[in-house]
């Protein structure tokens, strides 16, 4: 090897061995948000390496510290806290000086609150044009409902999600065990902020992101709307039936009291399910097409339930695995951390009962367990 090639090889090896910084290293976020959507969003920024400084109102800070301390701890890990009375001119000036060093500002007050404090997007971006300013609210910064209070169920109701939720034949129900609109909005805020930061590299300019939770839930409705248009489901009754009634799709009880989820929607998966279970009289050629199975969804699901009632959940899951049928046991939250799939992939921050999950996508430079816990009040001044 020549001296030159050896030097090149040594340089390449040195570069490959150098530690990689987290994706958002060097990004500073000043976060005025409370409750769940904003903190969950900025938690993700912190997990990607951003410095997140949480501005909290005296005397007790974020209301979730008292309403749900476990929720607060789960969505504010790795942040700093600064207690500041924004109505006090001196403390507001201190916060504004902090914003001067920031890349992103996040707020989740009702429209107009930050303007009264002189901390609105127009005022701050006039002074700091590279700033990405994110407003998270229920219905957005304008429109006849902009000032309405609300929570997750209200935004789902407004976006049409609640009307097609629940069980067929019953009324609307928030049947999903997660706050869908809150978390959906948080993810749109995350993706839009990352896009705005990337765009800033080309334009030199930040922007104001108006993230409305109801708008975000509305966007998630598009796949449903497409399916209804194709099926000619123009009434709510038809839309509920199309959404809620699926053959070979659901959670089915087993002999040991546990449940197994099955999703044999495609024709080839239905064939494999029929090979695994005795589903007569529905296993023949007459039901090879989804249209025929859809018309008999109720009886088909009742037959599957009957077939599984005499076996334990582990037996059923093993059988369906062997036949390559989409299935999974219904796992209780307190047992999720012990599931080999998640344990093997290192998805949890600790091994305690109900541990918190890490950011789901592995990223270069992001180390497991590096985030730390949620901040004590005013930790940024200590």
Question: Which residues participate in catalysis according to the annotation?
Answer: 182
Number of helices followed by number of strands (H, E) in the chain: 17, 9
Characterise 152 by phi-psi region: left (phi > 0), alpha (psi -120 to 50), beta (else).
alpha
**Residue 261 contacts residue 327 (beta carbons within 8 Å):** yes
Question: What is d(CA 267, CA 356) in angstroms, rounded to the nearest whole number?
Answer: 38
Mind giving me the DSSP string for 308-334?
Answer: HTTS-HHHHHHHHHHTT--EEE---GG
Sign of the alpha-carbon torsion through 130, 134, 140, 142: negative
User: Pairing state of beta strands 259-263 and 327-329?
Assistant: antiparallel
**Residue 120 contacts residue 208 (beta carbons within 8 Å):** no
Sign of the alpha-carbon torsion through 300, 305, 308, 312: positive
């Amino acid at each position: 090897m020549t001296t030159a090639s050896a030097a090149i090889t040594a340089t390449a090896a040195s570069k490959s061995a150098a530690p990689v910084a987290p994706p958002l290293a060097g990004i500073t976020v000043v976060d005025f948000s409370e409750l769940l959507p904003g903190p969950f969003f900025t938690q993700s920024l912190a997990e990607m390496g951003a410095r997140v400084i949480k501005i909290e109102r005296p005397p007790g800070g974020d209301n979730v510290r008292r309403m749900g301390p476990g929720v607060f701890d789960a969505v504010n890990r790795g942040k700093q806290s600064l207690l500041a009375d924004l109505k006090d001119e001196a403390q507001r000036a201190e916060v504004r000086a902090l914003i001067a060093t920031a890349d992103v500002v996040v707020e989740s007050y009702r429209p107009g609150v930050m303007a009264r404090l002189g901390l609105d997007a127009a005022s701050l971006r006039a002074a700091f044009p590279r700033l990405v300013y994110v407003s998270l609210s229920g219905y957005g910064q304008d429109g006849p409902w902009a000032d309405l209070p609300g929570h997750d169920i209200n935004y789902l109701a407004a976006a049409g999600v609640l009307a097609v939720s629940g069980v067929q034949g019953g009324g609307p129900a928030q049947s999903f065990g997660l706050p869908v609109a809150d978390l959906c909005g948080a993810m749109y805020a995350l993706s839009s902020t990352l896009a705005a930061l990337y765009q800033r590299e080309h334009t030199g300019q930040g922007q104001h992101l108006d993230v409305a939770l109801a708008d975000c839930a509305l966007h998630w409705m598009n796949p449903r709307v497409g399916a209804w248009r194709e099926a000619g489901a123009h009434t709510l009754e038809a839309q509920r039936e199309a959404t809620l009634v699926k053959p070979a799709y659901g959670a089915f009880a087993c002999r040991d009291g546990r449940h197994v989820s099955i999703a044999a929607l495609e024709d080839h998966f239905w064939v494999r399910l029929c090979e695994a279970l005795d589903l007569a009289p529905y296993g023949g050629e007459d039901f090879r097409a989804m249209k025929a199975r859809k018309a008999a969804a109720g009886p088909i699901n009742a037959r599957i339930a009957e077939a599984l009632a005499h076996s334990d959940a582990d037996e059923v899951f093993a059988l369906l695995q062997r036949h390559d049928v989409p299935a999974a046991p219904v796992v209780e939250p307190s047992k999720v951390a012990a599931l080999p799939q998640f344990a093997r992939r290192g998805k949890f921050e600790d091994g305690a009962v109900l541990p918190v999950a890490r950011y789901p996508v592995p990223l270069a430079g992001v180390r497991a367990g590096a985030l730390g816990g949620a901040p004590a009040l005013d930790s940024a001044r200590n």
